[in-house]
Structure 1
Amino acid sequence: MAGRIARRGVLLGLGAVWWWAVLRLAVAPGAGALEGTIAAGGWGLSLLPVHCVAKAQAVGAVAVGRWRAAWRVAEEGPGVGSVGRGL
């Protein structure tokens, strides 16, 4: 329980620092590199793929070593038992 509270406290604190930097960049004429670095770093963290699953569990993922066969089927076009690119 204490770990969960600590994590939430850290996230809330980091979020407050990020918002401070963004608002300071938008409003204060003297904002500089520190605020820009914090704002850009927080925005970059939001781009991380946090909703990922392991490749073995992903629906529709091509197994390791199967890319060559998958591309070959796509290049051959529609045929018996294969799906074309739809072009």
Structure 2
Amino acid sequence: MARRTARWGAVVGLGAVWWWAVLRLALAPGAGVVEGAVAAGGWGLSLLPVHCVPKSRAAGALRQGRWRDAWRAGVRGERGGPVSE
């Protein structure tokens, strides 16, 4: 329970700092580099793909090398292999 509370406290605290920086950039004439860095850093973190899984575990993932195998199979068929009509 303490870990959960600490995690939520960190999330709320960092969110408050980010909003402070964004609002200061938008509304205060004296906003500077620190506010810009905090706002840009927080926005950049939101772009991270945190819900990704390795390709091998993804639902519907195809094995690696499938295009190469398909290409080679097509080339073999054109060079006189069995071709269905």
Q: Do these two structures clear the TM 0.5 threshold for a shared fold by scoring above it?
A: yes
The residue type paired with residue 35 of structure 1 is: E
Return structure 1 stretches of 4+ with deviation > 4 angstroms. Answer: none
Query: For the residues of structure 2 that align with 1:67 and 1:8, how far apart are their CA atoms?
Result: 45
- The share of aligned pairs that are identical, in percent, is 70
Question: What is the TM-score when the length of structure 2 is the normalising length?
Answer: 0.74
Gaps in structure 2 of 5+ consecutive residues: 76-82
Larger CA Rg, structure 1 vs 2:
2
- Structure 1 Cα separation of the partners of residues 51 and 26 of structure 2: 30
* Shift in Å, 1:67: 4.7
Classify the secondary structure of the residue corresponding to 1:44.
helix
Structure 1 residue 51: Cα displacement? 1.6
Greater RCO (CA < 8 Å, at least 6 residues apart): 2
Structure 1: stretches of 5+ with no match in the other structure: 81-87
TM-score, normalised relative to structure 1: 0.72
Aligned-CA RMSD value: 2.4
